[in-house]
Structure 1
Amino acid sequence: MARRLDPHSEFARLLPHHLQREHTGVYDAPEAFGAFIRGGGNVELYRRASRALTRILDEHTPRTLLDVGPGDGLALLPALNDATGPAPHVDLVEPSTALLEQATDALQAQGIAHRAHNTTAEDLLTTHPDQRWDLAQSTFALQSLPPHERGPVLHALAQRTRHLSVVEFDVAHVPDPFDPHWFDSCLQRLERGLREYENERDLVGTGFILPVVLGHFATHTRTNHEHSVQDWAHDLEQAGFTHVRTHHLCDYWWEGAWLLRAQGRHTG
């Protein structure tokens, strides 16, 4: 049997504030997202993600790089700065205008050649059918793809990239979010995540964590469609990627983060 909601929990305190908000996309207003990724367990999580991306850049020394959903560049910029080889030309595809502007400003300040695409990965791959990349990467962004879009996007990437690196959480499929055992686990993890933040807890909680997690219970507002690592690997193979490898990257309050690497079919 699931626990009753603790009335003294941070979740119980923040829920009314969340319900009273006028909600837009969680990535459309960057303040809450920016505070979220720069606090709590995300500090170590993004540090490890950037280090992994740096190693991949050093291994492949790509001339062209596609970053799918870079946000404001928190994982991308340290990876580029720490890589030992010359910086590649970077294509950014990011649907959030505010986040994309922050990322492009940072690349401009570093003198890194880039193109900014204020759209979705699906639209970019459709409208630029001849574009190819030595390396494509995505950090906690492919989970935003609804299931019906995931396969076509991955298939297009497999045909048009040499190598792919993806960082995502290992989240098992939840057939019923109201299952007492999963619901109880969700509440406990949510509480841990909220309590990692002090001064910005209300901003992060109502502006990002609660909208994302509660999307499990209301499909029309869902922003994340998470997957298990095994499912991600299967999807990559089904899309045409080969030599798919997985590596545990970091523990985290929600679920563990993993790095997936694969070889695409572009050889030109």
Structure 2
Amino acid sequence: MSDPAAAVMRGATVRCVPAVPSWVSLMAGDLEGAKAFYGELLGWTFRAGPNRWGPYARALSGGVPVAGISGSSDLQLPVAWTTFFGTEDADALAERIRARGGTVAIGPLGSDAGRIAIASDRAGAPFGVWEGDTANGAVMCSLPGAPAWIELRTKDAFDSALFYGEVFGWDNREKDEFEVRWEHDRVVLRSEGQSVAALVGATDPEARPSWNVYFSVADADESVALAERLGADVLGEVRDGPYGRWADLRDPQGGRFSLLGPRDRG
């Protein structure tokens, strides 16, 4: 399991923003293979992280940590990205998750820079919780090559919005810092004036509910073509959406992710 709180490095951090996605981590079977793929695709460099739960690396964009990658030899664990939401109190949040029908699978666990937990909502979508430094560091979605958008695809977006809204206290936060709105057929989270995440009804009713990570790229078509050359599977066409031009992919080890770039101006 990755440790998002271990993202802190000397001179550069990513900030924990309460109630919104603040970190992402990948569980991969082959750590070096994952580093080679994502490093080439997104321009990441890497620095070794703490190995408390196994081999671990921090992905850096411009010297700032933007993601974590863990290696595991356990073939029963799926290769998947996990989205971590920021919180002021991981222990209290874990109790609210359980009280509202969710499951806390791991933690909360302490680390040098905070507390983390792995949970799932009542529809079964996995997510993480990170209690860390809320005052210092860069906001994750503001960095090139970092997660620019996080989207929950689920069977009932409104029920999920109720669950997360109650767990994270969305309605009780300052409107100039945090806002929930309905736009483009989605429940959208806005943090500090920027749309950062959404909850949307899944187009495939058989698909497992999941939080999907969209990584920022300068040109979606070029990056998708590069990903395919590097061994990724492209899941459908590159298309324009309300938040940019995007595509779904599966990395060479099976981890699903998306790329998001500016809209096609042609």
Which bracket does the TM-score occupy, shorter chain normalised? under 0.3
Which of the pair is proportionally richer in helix?
1
What's the TM-score, normalizing by structure 2?
0.28
Which of the pair is proportionally richer in strand?
2
Greater relative contact order structure (CA < 8 Å, 6+ sep): 1
What's the TM-score, normalizing by structure 1?
0.27
